[in-house]
Amino acid sequence: MNKRMVALLAGAAVATALSAGVANAQVSPGNPGKEAEASRDLALGADLAKRKVTPIAPVKVDEANRDLGMPDEGAMVDGFTTISRSFGDGKETKTPASEEMRGLIKDSLKPGEGDAPSGVKDEEGIDPNRQVFGDDDRVQISETSKFPFRVIGQLWTKVDDENWGSCSATLIGPSTIITAAHCIYSHDHGGWGQAAEFYPGLDGENAPFGVANVTNANILEGFVSQYKDNYGSVVAYDLAVLELDAKTGDELGWMSFGSFAKPAGFTANIVGYPGDKPASTMWRASCDVNEQDFNETNFAYLCDTYPGSSGSSVYLYNKDKKERVILGVNIAENPQFNLATRLNAAYFKWVQDLAK
């Protein structure tokens, strides 16, 4: 752990426990899906292959370190208004934070203590601008049509009439995926993307389960209203839950996500679509996350990532239980570390209410 990372994150208090027996630890269960695989196998086709798709880069924290501090309670409550945008008619609605959510936000800003299950590196299904630290130890996922990797996919967002951007996303329900807000809403490109598509288990030009269109996008208002001309000002809100036009998860399954407040250290697994590898291929990185790497809304790590990895789930793998639990979403980079939005109790509740 380098001194700069400690200095950047240590100023914020840390919250509650991560052991499985702690009451405040919550997990929304996953689903392994059905045995049938690649039932809608198809190639991307010439039209899709010709698209101008550029990997969307993680936000640059080093441009705005001065603003990386936690928003105060009032700002967080305002920031937790949900903005929902329909890709069908373009309408936008806002839903203020409930009283229950307000209480969770307040509690999430309190310090606490506890231990965490450590997890292990997820080796299953693996055929054994850079943001790669030291040697590149990322490994390619060769069996993308098998669980759990088939619930992870590439997200394509149409940023203008000619160009698309790519991120990574994960199924967390029959028809919902979790990703980063900056994958669907860009302050640099006028706000919302024009359209978005999710390709679960995509492997190069082979889309084993076809495509699901995003019909509705949900982000936190703080990501929009509290932006101060740099992404460091809204790092605390970089999270999105997207709704699909098909119940893709009924067949493929979906991954668990959890509110394990303040892990005392765990092995992080990040699976996604980094843009420095062959186009649209899936890769896994793994690294340790230490106790001092957390604040209330984010945690830092040295897992290797690259533009296109934005929106990847950061998950803990319990080998004994064969359980994978999403603890955060990869969102930002700094020359010395990468950063995730952390699912504390408030974020967990927000995601849980939207997952369906």
Nearest alpha-carbon partner for 241 in 188, 311, 305: 311
Per the DSSP assignment, residues forming a β-bridge with 200 are 153
Nearest alpha-carbon partner for 21 in 118, 115, 97: 115
Q: What is the pLDDT of residues 143-163, one digit of tens each?
A: 999 999 999 999 999 999 989
Ramachandran quadrant class, 216 (left: phi over 0; alpha: psi -120 to 50; beta: rest): beta
**Over pLDDT 90: what percentage of the chain?**
53
Q: What is the pLDDT of residues 235-266, one digit of tens each?
A: 999 999 999 999 999 999 999 999 876 566 78
Q: How far is CA 214 from CA 39, 156, 248, 322, in A?
A: 21, 10, 12, 30
**What pLDDT does 292 receive?**
85
**What pLDDT does 19 receive?**
31
In the structure, what pLDDT confidence band is assigned to residue 61 with cuts at 50, 70 and 90? low
The residue with greater pLDDT, 203 or 11, is 203
Average pLDDT score over residue span 325-338: 87
**What pLDDT does 195 receive?**
96
Q: What is the pLDDT of residues 275-317, one digit of tens each?
A: 888 989 999 999 999 888 888 888 998 887 777 889 999 999 9
Q: What is the pLDDT of residues 71-126, one digit of tens each?
A: 888 899 999 999 999 999 999 999 999 999 999 998 887 655 444 445 555 655 44
- Which residues are CB-neighbours of 74 under 8 A, at least 6 positions away? none
- What mean pLDDT value characterizes the chain? 82
* pTM of this structure: 0.85
- Calpha distance 108→174 (Å, rounded): 28
DSSP symbol at 308: T
Q: What CATH number belongs to 3-354?
A: 2.40.10.120
